[in-house]
Chains A and B, each alone.
Chain A
Amino acid sequence: DAGITQSPRHKVTETGTPVTLRCHQTENHRYMYWYRQDPGHGLRLIHYSYGVKDTDKGEVSDGYSVSRSKTEDFLLTLESATSSQTSVYFCAIRLDRAGELFFGEGSRLTVL
């Protein structure tokens, strides 16, 4: 079974500080994604990766960067957090079945 671990699960930080969220998968799925969930907006894609060192932007990528140095880890970095980045962040992996994503449990970030 696919497994995803997101860390930290909860974080409170201040405006202007850097934040890194980590996503770790237990298998070797090629595609990994970062989404954010906000009321009234649903799930919006931030960045995704289609292999080690291969990443691409999603629809709300401004203010975020990602890195994937190993197949199993996908990092999301907020270089200088802003209050508008207060959200719940979900990591997902793409399973072999068409279109189907498996999501982690989420990381709740609050930027004060």
Chain B
Amino acid sequence: DQQVKQNSPSLSVQEGRISILNCDYTNSMFDYFLWYKKYPAEGPTFLISISSIKDKNEDGRFTVFLNKSAKHLSLHIVPSQPGDSAVYFCAAEETSGSRLTFGEGTQLTVNP
């Protein structure tokens, strides 16, 4: 039972354009959502998060949108840069939980 799902294994965009990565979840108890970025041969690193009481959180070029009714969140990267090429994982946690559930990941490639 995949509670957090990233349906696109890969995404390719041109430098300077917008990258949109999507994530769906099924567990209505999830109330905190995070995005992690992973480069090859490194551990995942935290990128941005959002609480269920918000529908948007912005940090520089990165914005996360949350649609609770649709159980859907997305990560927007504007403008995309070649250095953004990495695997992006969506993750979620329940209220007062202590464990993150991750999606399968999306490989983003930003072409110069």
| Chain B 42-56: CB-based contact to A (< 8 A → 1; otherwise 0) | 111110010100000
A94 closest partner in B (C-beta): B98
Work out how many contacts link A and B, with CB atoms closer than 8 A: 58
Within 8 Å CB of B46, what residues of A? Answer: 100-102
- Of residues 57 through 112 on chain B, the ones whose CB sits less than 8 Å from some CB of chain A are 89, 91, 93, 98-105
| Chain A 92-112: CB-based contact to B (< 8 A → 1; otherwise 0) | 101000111111111000000
Total contacting residues, chain A, CB less than 8 A? 26
B9, B51, B89: the one contacting A43 at CB < 8 Å is B89
Interface presence of B21 (CB below 8 A): no
Contact present for A106 and B43 (CB under 8 Å): yes
Interface size range on B against A? 20 to 34
Contact present for A48 and B89 (CB under 8 Å): no
Interface presence of A44 (CB below 8 A): yes
Interface presence of A74 (CB below 8 A): no
Tell me the smallest distance from the CB of A89 to a CB of chain B, in Å: 11
A interface list, Cβ under 8 A from B: 4, 31, 33, 35, 40-45, 48, 50, 58-59, 90, 92, 94, 98-106
B interface list, Cβ under 8 A from A: 6, 9, 32, 34, 41-46, 49, 51, 89, 91, 93, 98-105
Can you list 28 contacts pairing A with B, beta carbon distance less than 8 Å?
A4-B43, A31-B98, A40-B9, A40-B104, A41-B104, A42-B89, A42-B102, A42-B105, A43-B89, A43-B91, A43-B105, A44-B102, A45-B99, A50-B98, A90-B43, A90-B44, A98-B93, A99-B49, A99-B91, A99-B100, A100-B49, A101-B44, A101-B46, A102-B46, A103-B43, A103-B44, A104-B43, A105-B43
